[in-house]
Amino acid sequence: MASAAAAAFASAKHWPRFTQQLLWVIGCYALTVLPQLGDISLWLTILAGVTVTWRIVAELRQWRLPHKWIRIAVAFAAMLSVFATYRTLNGLEAGTAFLVVMGAIKLLETQNKRDLTIVLFVSYFLLFAGFLYDQDLLLLPYMLLAIWILTATLMRVHQSAHMRSREALGTTAKMFLQAIPLAALLFVFFPRLPGQFWSLPAREQARTGIDDEVSPGDVSELSVSGTLAFRVRFDGAVPPPRERYWRGPVLHDFDGRTWRRAQYPYVERRLLPTGPTYKYRLVMQPSQRVWIFGLDAVTTWPRNARRTFDYQLWANRPIATLMVYDLESASNYVVEGPLPNLLRAAALRLPEGRNPRSLEFARTLRSQVDSDEAFIAAVLNKFRDEEYFYTLEPPRLESNSVDDFLFNTKRGFCEHFASTFTMLARAAGIPARVVAGYQGGEFNPMNGYFNVRQSDAHAWSEVWIEGKGWMRVDPTAAVSPQRIESGIDAAISEDEEVPGRIFVRSTLLSQLRNAWDAANTFWNEQIVKFGQAQQQSLLSLIGIHDADWRALGWGLVATLIGFFASMSLYLALRYRPPRREPLVQAYEQLCKRFARINLPRAEHEGPHDYLTRVAVARPELAKQLSEVRALYVNLRYGPNPLSSDISRFRFLINQLRI
Amino acid sequence: MIRALVQRLRNKTRAWARRRHGIDPDPLTLSGRRIYILPSALGIGYAFMIFAMFIGAMNYGNNLALALAFLLGSLGLTAMHYAHRNLATVRIASALCEPVFAGQLATFRVSIENTSRVARHEITVSTDHGGAKPARIDPTERSVLELTLPALRRGTLVLDQFEISTRYPFGLFRAWAYVNMPMRCIVYPRPSERGIPPPPLETDTGGAQDATRGDEEYAGLRAFHAGDSPRRIAWKAYAREQGLHVKVYAGTAVTSHMFDWSAVKGHGVEARLSQLCRWIEDAFAEGRAFGLRMPGLEIAPNIGPAHRQRCLTALALFEGGDDG
């Protein structure tokens, strides 16, 4: 098999040109399909793969291509199957699959330059679709390489004479280098529209990050992933580590094991900051969910987000691409007014007949202390003083999970502690709820951002204290204060797997990670999220302040004019003929001088006729001119011109007083 | 319908270009100013593709996709400049055009010289009757491209305008220029069917004065030239190591035809010319000497391709001659 392939390659040079071109085009197509492979349904991928393979074999064996009606039937079937798979042809995912399949089927009828070009155009479009999926910095070199090879192939396909791939690649590279400045300026100057102007169905993608329900084990499962959840950069003061709670879904409904979000609309109570407020920019990674994990709790937010009654911040639509939010938060606050009755009821509700031992324990404890605060302190003390452990690998819990945890296993992750604490508080008659989110974040000194990863996922409780409103209580902090102060790595014992621990141990690795992270941030902020704000700040760098549509329009016009002028100039220089020989140059100079006194040389005139005519017009030069003429004719057309004669010729010309 | 419209438009632009540029010198260095450029059908497809990308990118607010659209757009504009430059400053000259018989295809040759230090690609010439295969011309090289035109009638076939064009580099644009460089091709009359026998051979005894013809009397030796018949080589002299010589004979009785215009009567001018043409062709093919007598022109009997060409050209350019 391998030797057959080697033999095939050895004979590649002798293949007909069309075969070579076809294989290049198929290669380009494969290059652009590759990044999409994970996103297209498996069997459509197989369909495309089989079609392409058949086409290659047919080309090498010189089989006849299928009849027109067969091709139409196959294309129709493929279209139906895409429709059957995705239930639509509209939308990014179905559209991409459709392009991939149609590109493969187009190959079945490809037998000329035009067909090859169409397949190449499909490949260009697949590159485009790839960018819609993924805008990672890592992908960029691959995409650039693909577009380069694609374009070089396009050039080769359009040459009737043979052109070596190296020449095509070289010329295309040069053309790209010339096109890039224009593309960059267009990119900078082109007016950006805020938001979509029509919406296509978003791509179905696995949701990542914190869910809107939390069961024991959910958060610890998330915590093994080192994937970035979001980045934050503070503008001015930075909250201390123990206040870095990033608020996500707030969970009211408890069934004895799982906490869920409340679905009812409640009245929002105003939130009054009691401490400093923090301004910051939050860059959400795509999560396909609506939560924006603002610092607990957000007081100012942009228009493309809203705040719910329980102070969650929601994006207007699921976050499918990188999103940037400028927010303001207060980490210490009080909530004004009494707790509405409906909400109080929701925050006290407990499932019937579940976790009886815990209920009993809470009621007993509450009767022993004289205030809600004292109860809370007592529960936290229990966690702190008794043999409770903070671990990523807690044992499985029975159906009465709180009972099991509180009295038997005593080993848990943050959601165990938060869930148990909240349930105890409710049992004691204190309105309480669970908040899921993130806690902490790792500072990258290279770009000033805090990176919050999935491993920073956290859950804590909120209790309602009359007169103060909702108060954050983090039972995990009682068990493992290091978790809150220094992050998960410090809190988890040495023998457990923690993502990113390797980076903490090695400075070099962590610096590398920071550098890569900084590059990614720059890429995300300046390129991927380039918008009106960046446009304005970039333009003010070159002295255009408050650029409006008109200024941008002029910028575009100037860019285009500049490009046309410089391209024309560059190419004119590059295509200029080689320098003439000195004799011809001297003669042409002479002609130019005569042309200035209205004796231009006509196209058809040779040196003899022309100089004779000039001599008639200027008799005083006749004698000199006759020598010039004889010398020139001799030098130009005679055998063995002497270099001394050329000097003499130049001398004579300079002597002429025209 | 549309095709007819396009053709009309094309004819109009051609006429306009002709008025604008006048008759071109031969050779002609193509100035950039007279090169027109338009996107090809493929180029329009490419533009649509970029536009779709652009709309999609704007819709999704996706900057990378937008950058891709801009990059491909800029590449298209760069390609436009390359297409234009690929044609500018080439040197066009007419080259030899061999005579043909009426009814055949006349081949006009156009020599295209690349005066620059960069290779030119995909350059072709074309007329309404088709074009040449696009050629690559390396730096300072020249390439001869062929244009064929059906030669319908005898006389001079003039090709007064053709297009030089290129689709380099990606086939997205077609750059072209109208070249108004008249090129001529002699079209001989179409030889008539065989049938009428040629006039009988005449014996010319006056050949004695002509030292170059005949085979009657030995007249000496002269040096061998390539093409001399081996039968006339003086092998004896060669054996004596005097070098290669040829025996020359003179004072000959030569037999030849005399094709006379007035001898072919009552067929109409073209038919008579065709008949003469047929006789000349046959006589030439069989190596017989012939002469031609036309009103106002007499070509003495002779042999050889130059003679044939002279006679046929006389027929091709023959004017007048009523049916008398």
Structure tokens at A110: 């490809």
Interchain CB contact of A164 with B (< 8 Å): no
Q: How many structural domains compose chain A?
A: 3
| B103 and B158 together in one domain | yes
pLDDT value, residue A228: 85
Strands B289-294 and B254-260: parallel
Q: Within this chain, do residues A341 and A437 fall inside the same structural domain, yes or no? A: yes
pLDDT, one tens digit per residue, over A612-623 is 898 898 888 888
Nearest CA-CA distance, residue B115 and chain A, Å: 5
User: What are the tokens at A69?
Assistant: 């009606």
What is the reported pTM?
Answer: 0.73
- A493 and A637, same domain (yes or no): no
pLDDT of A206 higher than 90: no
Which of B142, B160, B188 terminates a domain? The answer is B188
Residues 119-138 on A with a CB inside 8 Å of B are 121, 124-125, 127-128, 131-132, 135
Residue-averaged pLDDT of chain A: 84
A420 within a domain of the structure (yes/no): yes
- Domain count along chain B: 2
pLDDT at res. B109: 92
ipTM above 0.85, yes or no: no
Q: In this model, does residue A507 exceed pLDDT 90?
A: no
Please write the tens of the pLDDT for every residue from A208-260: 677 777 877 777 777 777 788 899 999 888 888 888 999 998 888 888 788 88
Residues B112 and B19 in one domain: yes
| Domain co-membership, A90 together with A233 | no
Would the CB atoms of B32 and A182 count as touching at under 8 Å?
A: no
Which tokens is B174 given? Answer: 């077609």
Which of these three, A504, A526, A558, is where a domain ends? A504
Q: Looking at residues B127-141, what average pLDDT do you find?
A: 89
- pLDDT for residue A528: 80
Check residue A137 and give its pLDDT: 84
Q: Is residue B102 part of a domain?
A: yes
Specify if B281 maps to a domain.
yes
Same domain, B165 and B216: no
On whether residue B65 sits in a domain, the answer given is: yes
**Spatial separation of the C-alpha atoms in residues B285 and B38, rounded to whole Å:** 51
**Residue A658: predicted pLDDT:** 75
Of A128, A198, A564, the CB nearest to B53: A128
A375 and A474 belong to one structural domain? yes
Q: What's the pLDDT tens digit per position in A181-196?
A: 999 999 888 887 655 4
Please give the Cα distance from B189 to B107 (Å, whole number). 16
Task: State the nearest Cα–Cα gap between B105 and chain A, in angstroms.
Answer: 24
Domain extent for B34: 2-188
Q: Same structural domain for residues A155 and A232?
A: no
Q: Is A28 a catalytic residue?
A: no
Q: What is the pLDDT of residue B52?
A: 92
* Final residue belonging to a domain, choices B137, B163, B188: B188
Query: Are A320 and A440 members of one domain?
Result: yes
pLDDT at residue A496, as a whole number? 65
> Which single residue is written with the structure tokens 């815990």?
A358
Using the 3D structure, point to which of A163, A198, A221 is the last residue of a domain. A163
- Please judge whether B68 and A131 are an interchain contact, meaning their C-beta atoms are less than 8 angstroms apart: yes
Q: Is residue B193 part of a domain?
A: no
Summarised one tens digit per residue, pLDDT across range A268-312 is 778 888 888 899 999 888 888 888 999 988 888 988 888 888 888
> Is B219 part of a structural domain of the chain?
yes
**pLDDT tens digit sequence for B273-306:** 888 898 898 888 888 888 888 888 888 888 888 9
Per-residue pLDDT at B212 exceeds 60? no
Residue A201 confidence (pLDDT) above 50: no
The answer, yes or no, to whether residue A27 has pLDDT greater than 60, is yes
User: Does residue A459 lie in a domain region?
Assistant: yes
Same domain? For B111 and B250 the reply is: no
Q: Is residue B322 in some structural domain?
A: no
Are B22 and B170 found together in one domain? yes
3-state secondary structure of A586: helix
Residues A602 and A477 reside in one and the same domain: no
Q: Do B64 and A198 touch (CB under 8 A)?
A: no
A554-577 confidence digits (pLDDT tens): 888 998 999 999 999 999 888 888
The confidence score (pLDDT) of residue A43 equals 83
Residue type, B199: P
pLDDT interval class at A502 (50, 70, 90): low
Task: Identify whether residues B16 and B161 lie together within a single domain.
Answer: yes
pLDDT at A432 over 80: yes
Quick one: pLDDT at residue B175?
Answer: 94
Q: Which residue does chain B place closest to A135, by CA atoms?
A: B64
Q: What is the pLDDT of residue A1?
A: 43
Residues in chain A within 8 Å Cβ distance of B39: none
A552 occurs within a structural domain: no
Residue B208 is predicted with a pLDDT of 44
Final residue of a structural domain among A481, A504, A527: A504
> Is-contact A225 A289, C-beta < 8 A?
no
CA A291 – CA A313 distance, rounded (Å) = 6
Could you tell me the residue range of the domain that residue A158 belongs to?
14-163
Name the active-site residue from A414, A456, A489, A591.
A414
Verify that A48 and A130 share a domain, yes or no.
yes
Those residues whose C-beta lies under 8 Å from the C-beta of residue A367, and which sit 6 or more positions away, are none
> Does residue A553 lie in a domain region?
no
The answer to whether residues B50 and B67 touch, using CB atoms and an 8 Å cutoff, is no
d(CA A108, CA A111): 9
Last residue of a domain, one of B157, B188, B219: B188
Q: What is the pLDDT of residues B30-80, one digit of tens each?
A: 888 889 999 999 999 999 999 999 988 888 778 889 999 999 999 999 999
pLDDT of residue A194: 58
Q: Output the six-digit token pair for A117.
A: 């070009």
Whether the predicted pLDDT of B215 surpasses 60: no
Let me know if residue A194 belongs to a domain: no
Average pLDDT over residues A350-354: 83
Residue range B203-230: mean pLDDT, rounded? 62
Q: Are residues A128 and A248 in the same domain?
A: no
Mean pLDDT confidence for A493-518: 72
Whether residue B78 and residue A178 make contact (CB cut-off 8 A), yes or no, is yes
Per-residue confidence band for A30, with pLDDT thresholds at 50, 70 and 90: very high
| Closest CA–CA distance from residue B135 to any residue of chain A (Å) | 6
- Do β-strands B105-114 and B162-166 pair in parallel, antiparallel, or remain unpaired? unpaired
Q: Let me know whether B9 and B148 are in one domain.
A: yes
Please give the average per-residue pLDDT across B11-31, as a whole number: 85
| Residue A505: per-residue pLDDT | 66
Q: Is residue B195 part of a domain?
A: no
Grade residue B249 by pLDDT with cuts at 50, 70 and 90.
low
Active site includes A414? yes
A577 and B61 within 8 Å at the Cβ level: the answer is no
Q: Is A158 one of the annotated active-site residues of the chain?
A: no
**Co-location of A154 and A28 in the same domain:** yes
Q: Which residue of A has its CA nearest to B116?
A: A577
Most B CBs within 10 Å: which of A119, A131, A563, as the mutation test of the B interface?
A131
Please tell me if residue A569 touches chain B, with a CB cutoff of 8 Å.
no
Q: Which residue of B has its CA nearest to A576?
A: B116
Q: Are strands A457-465 and A469-473 parallel, antiparallel or unpaired?
A: antiparallel
Q: Which residues, including other chains, have CB under 8 Å from residue B245's CB and lie 6 or more apart?
A: B221, B222, B223, B224, B233, B234, B237, B238
Residue B31 falls inside a structural domain? yes
Per-residue model confidence (pLDDT) at position A176: 94
Same-domain pairing of B38 and B90: yes
CB B169 to CB A155 under 8 A? yes
User: Cβ A131–B121 below 8 Å, yes or no?
Assistant: no
B85 & B165 share domain: yes
Whether residue A225 sits in one domain with residue A158: no
Mean pLDDT of A592-609: 85
Task: Scan residues 421-460 of A and list those with Cβ closer than 8 Å to B.
Answer: none
Same-domain check for residues A245 and A384: yes
What's the pLDDT at A53? 92
- The minimal CB distance from B75 to the residues A160, A179, A198 is found for A179
My answer on whether B100 and B230 are in the same domain is no
Q: Does A142 touch chain B (CB under 8 A)?
A: no
**Cβ-defined contact of B58 to A197 (cutoff 8 Å):** yes
- Residue A170 placed within a domain: no
- Looking at the fold, whether B34 and B168 belong to one and the same domain comes out as yes
Residue range A470-495, pLDDT digits in tens? 889 998 888 887 777 777 766 666 66
Q: Name the residue among B61, B70, B121 with its Cβ closest to that of A196.
A: B61
Mean of pLDDT over chain B: 85
Q: Indicate which CATH number applies to the domain containing B65.
A: 2.60.40.10
Q: Rounded mean pLDDT of A84-104?
A: 82
Given this model, what pLDDT does residue B250 score? 56
Enumerate the residues of chain B whose CB falls inside 8 A of the CB of residue A195.
61
Residues B77, B168, single domain; the answer is yes
As given in the structure block, the two tokens for residue A385 are 């003083």
Question: How many CB contacts within 8 angstroms connect chain A with chain B?
Answer: 158
Q: B269 or B267: which carries more pLDDT confidence?
A: B269
